[in-house]
Amino acid sequence: MKTIVTGLLLASTALCATSGAALAERTLRATVQVAVNHPVGANLVTFKDALEEVSGGEMSVEIYDSAQLFKGSEVPKAVASGAIDMGVVLADEYSGTLPAAGIFSVPFLFPDYATLAKAADPEGPFRQTFDEMIGSTGTKVLWWQDYGPVQLLSKGAAMTEPSMMKGKLVRALGKPSGDFIDAVGGTPVVIGGSEQFMAYQRGTVDVGMSGTTAVQSRKLYEVMDTITMTNHSLAEFIVVINSGLFDSLTEQEQGWVTEAAMHAEHSLREETEANNVASANWLADGHATVTELTPEQLRAWQDAAAPAVEVFVQDAGEVGQTLVQSVQALY
C-alpha cells in the first residue's frame, strides 16, 4: 500500500510540475546599448509594459540596458545565435553582411519625416523588402525605432560647405555614411554610438556625426560645440528577436508580441519629430552653436554626396536598388 501511495504522490508531483511549467510566465530577455531614460531605451520599456498588459502578465521582458551585455555591433549575431532573445540595433550594423541594410544612411534619401512614415508602412513595399532581408540573418524585425535625422558636429566652425570636410577625420556609422564622407573628401572612422563622447574628447576625429537628440542626451555638446543641421541621413534603430524563438511562440503569444511591438513603434514615431525639434531648440539656447543650412548650401551638399548614392546601389545590388526606388516613389 505504501508503495502505491508513494507512486501516486510522485505522479501527482510530476503532473503539478508539468502544469506549472505550462502556466509559467514566458520571459523575453532584451539588450539595448543606451539607458532606459534615453528615447530608444524608454521605447523598449513601452514595449515591455504593453506586452505585460496585453498578455495579462503571461509574458514579461527583462531589459539589460547601457550595453551591459552586448555592444551595438554585437547585437545581430547575439540575437541570431540565441545568446539573447531580443536586441535593439542600429540598422547600419547589418550592413557589413547585408549592404542594403545601410539604406537609412544613404545621404539625403529621406527628405522629411513624412517620407519615412510612408516607408515604414508594414504593408508597403519598402518595409516588406527591408524586413524580409533582415529575416535572412536568423533575426526577425519586430518594430522600427525612429530616432530622427543625423547632423554634423564640429568644434568652432560650422560645416556649411562640403569642401570643409576635405582632409578631415569624420565619425561614420557604417559603410554608407563612410561613402558619404569619402564623396565629400573626408576620411571615415567608424565609431560606435556609446563611444562617441570619448572619441570627440580625445580628438579621434575632427568632425562628429550623430542624431539631434543624442547630442543632448549623450552631452556631446560638451566636446563638440557646433552642430550643423544637415539632416543628411537617419539614425534608424530596429528591434529584432531570434527567429527560432519567435516561431516557437504560440499563435496567441506571437499576437501579443506583435501588438505590443506596433504600439511601441507608433508611440515613438509620434514623438520623434517633437523630440528632435525640442533638442535642437535646447542646444541653441546657450548650450551649442546650431547652424541651419540655406537652400543653396543644402543643394551643394546634396550634389557633392550624389556619388555615395551610386556606390550604395552598386554595393547593395538588386535589393538596394529596389529599396532606393521604393523610397523615391514616395516623394
* pLDDT per position as a tens digit, 124-157: 999 999 999 999 999 999 999 999 999 999 999 9
- Give residue 21's pLDDT: 36
Instruction: Please state, in angstroms and rounded to a whole number, the distance separating the CA atoms of residues 158 and 152.
Output: 8
Residue 23 has pLDDT above 80, yes or no: no
Residue 111 has pLDDT above 50, yes or no: yes
- Give residue 14's pLDDT: 38
Is 2 among the domain residues?
A: no
Question: Would you state the cell numbers that stand for residue 272, as one nine-digit string?
Answer: 520623434
* pLDDT per position as a tens digit, 34-60: 899 888 999 999 999 999 999 999 999
Is 15 among the domain residues?
A: no
Instruction: Please state, in angstroms and rounded to a whole number, the distance separating the CA atoms of residues 191 and 170.
Output: 9
Is 292 among the domain residues?
A: yes
Output the average pLDDT for the chain: 91
**DSSP 8-state assignment for residue 195:** G
Q: How far apart are the first and last CA of the chain?
A: 82
Mean pLDDT to the nearest integer, 187-207: 95
- Give residue 173's pLDDT: 87
Instruction: Please state, in angstroms and rounded to a whole number, the distance separating the CA atoms of residues 235 and 32.
Output: 15
- Give residue 192's pLDDT: 86
SS3 assignment, position 61: strand
For helices 295-328 and 125-135, angle between their N-to-C axes, nearest 10 degrees: 70
SS3 assignment, position 330: coil
CATH of the domain at 91: 3.40.190.170
* pLDDT per position as a tens digit, 316-327: 999 999 999 999
Q: Which amino acid is at 224?
A: M
- Give residue 266's pLDDT: 96
- Give residue 174's pLDDT: 83
The answer to whether residues 133 and 101 touch, using CB atoms and an 8 Å cutoff, is yes
Question: What residue numbers bound the domain in which 123 lies?
Answer: 27-328
Q: Which amino acid is at 226?
A: T
**Cα 117 vs. chain centroid, distance in angstroms?**
15
Is 42 among the domain residues?
A: yes
The answer to whether residues 88 and 31 touch, using CB atoms and an 8 Å cutoff, is yes
Question: Would you state the cell numbers that stand for residue 200, as one nine-digit string?
Answer: 570627440
What is the secondary structure of 263-328 as a DSSP string? HHHHHHHHHHHHHHHHHHHHHHTTTSEEEEPPHHHHHHHHHHHHHHHHHHHHHHHHHHHHHHHHHH
% of the chain residues with pLDDT over 90: 85
- Exposed e or buried b for every residue in 58-79, given b needs 16+ CB within 10 A? ebebebebebebbbbbbbbbbb
Question: Between 270 and 169, where is the model more confident?
Answer: 169
Residue 7 has pLDDT above 70, yes or no: no
- Give residue 145's pLDDT: 97
Question: Would you state the cell numbers that stand for residue 133, as one nine-digit string?
Answer: 532581408
- Give residue 182's pLDDT: 97
Instruction: Please state, in angstroms and rounded to a whole number, the distance separating the CA atoms of residues 282 and 85.
Output: 37
Mean pLDDT to the nearest integer, 282-286: 98
Residue 304 has pLDDT above 60, yes or no: yes
Contacts of 148 (CB under 8 A, 6+ apart): 211, 212, 213, 234, 235, 272, 273, 275, 276
Q: 190 pLDDT band (50/70/90 cuts)?
A: very high
Is 7 among the domain residues?
A: no
Instruction: Please state, in angstroms and rounded to a whole number, the distance separating the CA atoms of residues 73 and 70.
Output: 8
* pLDDT per position as a tens digit, 57-105: 999 999 999 999 999 899 999 999 999 999 999 998 999 899 999 999 9
CA distances from 267 to 32, 124, 225, 264 (A): 18, 19, 31, 5
Is 143 among the domain residues?
A: yes
Question: Would you state the cell numbers that stand for residue 245, as one nine-digit string?
Answer: 524563438
Q: What is the total count of domains within the chain?
A: 1
Is 61 among the domain residues?
A: yes
Instruction: Please state, in angstroms and rounded to a whole number, the distance separating the CA atoms of residues 187 and 206.
Output: 10
The answer to whether residues 138 and 77 touch, using CB atoms and an 8 Å cutoff, is no
Residue 159 has pLDDT above 90, yes or no: yes
Is 57 among the domain residues?
A: yes
Residue 1 has pLDDT above 50, yes or no: no
